[in-house]
Structure 1
Amino acid sequence: MKQGVYNSFSLDDDSEFDADWALEQILMRPALLRLGNLSIKCIKEFYRDSSSLAALFYDLDSSKMYEVEIHSGEVDFAYITKAIEYWNLEENNHSGSNHCIVIAAKAINYTTLRLLHLFTSNIPVIVLQLKTYETENHRGIVFTKVFPYFI
């Protein structure tokens, strides 16, 4: 196993390594999300803005669909609303499948997690913390599940 010094970097600080780059990493290796045997179904271009992207994944083993929102900043209530709207749209478009919102973000505060907890009786939600790292000649990304485990 190679050992080295790993430093974090921000997706906001480098136009080459931004939310687009993070989505590209997930599209190349969906296993990074640690949600199952995922296949990309589509990327939702109309949800692109300066700091977030959305994509729809399908679990080949369980037939579950994941509406994945990737956000390079801190998640706020407006972002949660957008994620729920996307989930609702996809659930209506692909009825008969189980759907789950996945929010992958650099930061999400405790108050927002508490708000999500109120929704989870009706809307399945997973929150992944997005962490980026770099060495002398490599950049990478790691996702850690923080919700529903935060309570």
Structure 2
Amino acid sequence: MFSRIGDRNPNRTVPRLQELTRHLWQGERQHSGHHHYDGKIPIIATGLRNLREHGPTGPVFLRFGRDHPRSPVETIGSPRRDAADVRAQEEAWVRQREYKAQLRRAAEQKAAEREGPPARLRRLRGRSSPTNGGKQPGRRTGAPRWTATRSSATTASARP
């Protein structure tokens, strides 16, 4: 908090204070354009005259490293980081949708392979065709389903 009362002029004190404390508040620039402030201290300066003019919710707070005063909410936050986080979340959602679509296509392909020629043949076996005379395929006419073997015939005749 600075005031114009006394020997220290805020116009000279604030820039000097910024230079002396730069290592404490300056963030690390990221590839996406925002800065990471992890482990850094947000140093905020304001003046009594600005507080009287705009009130405590107005654009009166200057965070070191920024170029103009902002409201308290804008001063504490990092709008570029918030935008980068939103972009990253949207990209993650897109990747997740693409992955789910890929899984769905793979499952459909696997089901089609399972249903492939053997399943189609099983379905078609139940239908009659003009080449077999309208009879059910797979059954021979005139042949019994079960025939007695010699051991079963002798066992049956040996009983009294």
Q: Which has the larger radius of gyration?
A: 2
Q: Whose strand fraction is larger, Structure 1's or Structure 2's? A: 1
Return the TM-score normalized by structure 1: 0.27
Q: Whose helix fraction is larger, Structure 1's or Structure 2's? A: 2
Return the TM-score normalized by structure 2: 0.26
Q: Which of the pair has the greater relative contact order for Cα pairs under 8 Å at 6+ separation? A: 1
